[in-house]
Amino acid sequence: MLKMTHLSKAYRTEVVETYALRDFSIDVSEGEFVAVTGPSGSGKTTFLSIAGLLEEFSGGEYQLDGANVRGLNDDQRSKLRNEKIGFIFQAFNLIADLNVQDNIDVPLRYRGFDAAERRRRTQEASRRVGLSARSRHYPAELSGGQQQRVAIARALAGSPRLLLADEPTGNLDTQMARGVMDLLEELHRDGATIVMVTHDPELAVRADREVHIVDGQVVELSVPSRRIAAASIPT
Amino acid sequence: MFNYYMALAVLSLKRNVVLTVLMIAAVGVGIGASMTMLTVFRAMAEDPIPNKSHELFAVQIDNWGPRKSFSSNGDNLSEQVSYTDAMALMSIRAAKRQSAMYATGAALTPEDPERRPFRVHARATYADFFPMFSVRFRFGASWTAAEEAERSEVLVISRELNDKVFAGANSVGKTLNLDGHPFRVVGVMEHWEPIPKFYDLNDMYGKSEEIFVPFGRAIENQMPSWGNTNCHDDIGAPGWDGHLRSECVWVQFWAELPTAAEAEHYRSVLNNYAADQQRSGRFHWPPNTRVRDVREWLTYQHVVSNEARILVLVSFSFLLVCLLNAMGLMLAKIMGRAGDIGIRRALGANRRAIFSQCLIEAGVVGLAGGCLGLALTALGLVGLRSLLSESVSRLTHLSISDVAIALILSIVATTLAGLYPTWRAAQVQPVWQLKAQ
């Protein structure tokens, strides 16, 4: 589904060249739930931006759902991003002027769906995240957890092949965070491929696999400790 | 997507009312100022008879010679001709239609003894005047060739005079008393008011005449010229006959020449006539004649003054300044929404989509600015009307085409001013905005 091979990302100024990612390789299979962890400044968000085609990379290869994304122009990247990727951001990134329904509708507009199809999808996505009753509410009228659910509904509405989540519970209290993580796990159980960036080990353990990044490189690929513990408990 | 972008534009404009009002005000004031000037300028420069302006020619003959000329155009030609030349040209009949004419007037005494006499502006002309200038009739028609030859006391009246004297009823056959002479009405014109009054620019923006009488009858009745009469040394012998035989110029002469060949032929006829006058000893200079079609005539007569052109230029410069202000405000507004633009980009909007969205928003500002500009234009024209003379103030009306021009100009100009802010918006990198949040 998502395969990066020896990928690098360098930020250049006139005097210095800084690598955010260096010789970075990762392979995420279809239906997998991968947590990407690492300290601040390790390159987690840069990885997610490149994975989401929001940013270009300097070297290496990146294949998304079998398509090589190197050299794609803005139109092609936008189309691929719209069709194959759903984003969940830490800050929710809802559009304040639009109500829940219209926020979920945004990516569907750029997809070119007709009005009936868009309505069907927004209703289905709202129902799935449990916000059908609040479709006319504006973001400011919702709690943080509800806003993140709207963001998840927006990400799901286009039936993407890959969900990219950047610290999805970072702005939520414990209870709301648990609710959002439960929802992500539910989506995963339904077959969604999810890559979640987090610095929280407690969230990482809920993924199938954890990828740890330090200084722009993958230093450890592991099965999360909770799952190891669960596997070693005698039945 | 157009409807979606329109809805987003309205939403965006409602978000920051102060900036929106400032943008619309900047565009509106610029449009108001430029359209006020442009409306007057267009009325001045308008083709008064667009379907025939290239077929109608004003005729000029130099009957004074180079040393007596007062022409400001440096060609020794007066814009009018003498009675002698007018009659000679009428007798040559080298054009499809032709007419000598002059402005005159009289006291009109209504049939109803209860009503008091009043002064009317009249034009002495030939029957060709009406078909030549595409004048349509409400009742009746022009006088006939026979009536013209017999110098009958007949006349054609304007619709307005017919409304005034006969309450709009068919007055053909009725009698009107002009300066004590009974004239029979043979035709009532539809409303006809070319602006400018190209056939007699002595009263450039004046109203059309209320009465039209046969030229020969007017001369026989010694109806004086109410227009411009220019004389040099030879002011003629005393009396009406002396005035007719003088070299004073006071008659306008127009010819209808539908084809280039006919116009060329007419030029040579004119030159031959002037050459004959030279041979006979009346002219002591080589033939100097000219025919100009309506547009050439208006340019030659400086109907649109240089001052008017400069005013239009200044007003459009002001519009440019207003648009630059609007552009700055638009840039601030759009950059303030960089976060939303970043989100849309992340969700699949390409640069073209963002560009279209912002450009339509600029167009909506332009439309609103155009509406405000129209209101200000109407206000500006009311102001001009109070400042200008009555005849010139007739130019200050807002036509449907002026409204369309104002709106189109506003939308196009604002959209163009929005190009840079829009381009900047399309360059927003989604990742920067999302990281910043």
Beta-carbon contacts of residue B150 (< 8 Å; ≥ 6 apart): none
The model's pLDDT over B87-130, given as tens digits with 9 standing for 90+, comes to 999 999 889 999 999 999 999 988 778 888 999 999 999 999 99
Is pLDDT above 80 for B234? no
- Whether the CB of A93 is below 8 Å from some CB of chain B: the reply is yes
Q: Which tens digit of pLDDT belongs to each residue from B373-416?
A: 999 988 888 887 777 666 666 677 777 888 888 888 888 888 88
Q: B16, B39, B24: which is closest to B405 by C-alpha?
A: B39
Q: Does B350 touch chain A (CB under 8 A)?
A: yes
Q: What pLDDT is stored for residue B86 in this prediction?
A: 95
Question: Chain B interface, mutation test: which of A77, A98, A109, A111, most B Cβ atoms within 10 Å?
Answer: A109
Strands (E), B174-286: 175-178, 181-189, 211-214, 249-256
| Residue A43, pLDDT score | 86
- Whether the CB of B343 is below 8 Å from some CB of chain A: the reply is yes
Instruction: Look at residues B258, B281, B257, B259 and name the one whose alpha carbon lies nearest to residue B270.
Output: B257
A161-190 residue pLDDT tens = 888 988 888 777 777 788 778 888 888 888
CB proximity B1 to A under 8 Å: yes
Please give the share of chain B, as a percent, with pLDDT higher than 90: 44
Q: Which of B25-29, B76-80, B212-216 has the highest mean pLDDT?
A: B212-216
Instruction: Give the residue from A200, A205, A94, A217 showing the smallest Cα distance to A155.
Output: A94
Domain locations in chain B?
Answer: 2-48+305-436, 63-256
Residue B178 corresponds to which tokens in the numbers above?
A: 């002009």
Is residue B247's pLDDT more than 70? yes
pLDDT recorded at residue B393? 67
pLDDT tens sequence across B177-227 = 999 899 999 999 999 988 888 999 888 777 889 999 999 999 999 999 999
**Ranges under pLDDT 70 in chain A:** 220-235
Name residue, tokens 């407690």. Answer: A202
Inter-residue contact B191 to B205 (CB < 8 Å): no
Cα–Cα distance for residue pair B7/B170, rounded to 1 Å: 57
In this prediction, residue B427 carries a pLDDT of 81
Q: Is A114 on the interface with B (CB under 8 A)?
A: no
Residues B250-266: pLDDT tens digits? 999 999 999 999 999 99
**Residue A3: beta bridge partners?**
A27, A63
> Which residue's structure tokens are 């009005």?
A115
A56 touching chain B per CB within 8 A: no
Q: Is B430 on the interface with A (CB under 8 A)?
A: yes
pLDDT of residue A230: 45
Q: What is the largest CA-CA distance in chain B?
A: 98
Question: For B273-312, what is each residue's pLDDT tens digit?
Answer: 999 999 999 998 999 999 999 999 998 888 877 777 888 8
Q: Is the dihedral of CA A73, A79, A84, A86 positive or negative?
A: positive
B434 touches chain A (CB under 8 A): yes
The H-or-E segment that residue A153 falls in is helix A144-157
Calpha distance A144→A175 (Å, rounded): 11
- Chain B interface includes A11 (CB < 8 A): no
Chain A partners of B336 at a C-beta cutoff of 8 Å?
none
Q: Do A74 and B346 touch (CB under 8 A)?
A: no
Closest CA in chain A for residue B352: A75
| C-beta of residue A113 within 8 angstroms of C-beta of residue A121 | yes
Contact B340 A95 (CB under 8 A): yes
Tens of pLDDT, residue by residue over B308-335, are 788 889 988 998 899 888 889 888 888 8
**What's the pTM value of the predicted model, to 2 decimals?**
0.67
Model pLDDT, residue B162? 94
Q: Which residues contact B432 (CB under 8 A, 6 or more apart)?
A: B342
Nearest C-alpha in B relative to A107: B347
The pLDDT of residue B70: 64
Query: Do B69 and B137 form a contact (C-beta atoms < 8 A)?
Result: no
DSSP B308-367: HHHHHHHHHHHHHHHHHHHHHHHHHHHHHTHHHHHHHHHTT--HHHHHHHHHHHHHHHHH
Contacts by A168-174, CB closer than 8 A, 24 or more apart:
A168/A88, A168/A89, A168/A90, A168/A196, A168/A198, A169/A198, A169/A200, A169/A203, A170/A90, A170/A198, A171/A90, A171/A91, A171/A92, A171/A144, A172/A144, A172/A145, A172/A148, A173/A144
Residue B434 structure tokens: 């999302």
CB contacts under 8 A, A 57-76 vs B, are 74-75
User: What's the confidence (pLDDT) of residue A233?
Assistant: 42
Report pLDDT for B334: 83
- Chain A nearest-CA residue for B435: A45
Separation between Cα atoms, residue A117 and residue B195, nearest integer Å: 59
ipTM value: 0.86
Token pair in block for residue B231? 């004389």
Strand partners, B123: B103, B212
- In the prediction, which pLDDT does B390 show? 66
Q: What is the pLDDT of residue B15?
A: 84
Residue B122's pLDDT is what?
95
What is the β-pairing status of strands B137-140 and B289-293? unpaired
Distance CA B414, CA B424 (A): 16
Strands B175-178, B181-189: pairing is antiparallel
> Which of A48, A55, A78, A108 to mutate to test binding with chain B, by most B CBs within 10 Å of its CB?
A78
pLDDT the model gives residue A220: 67
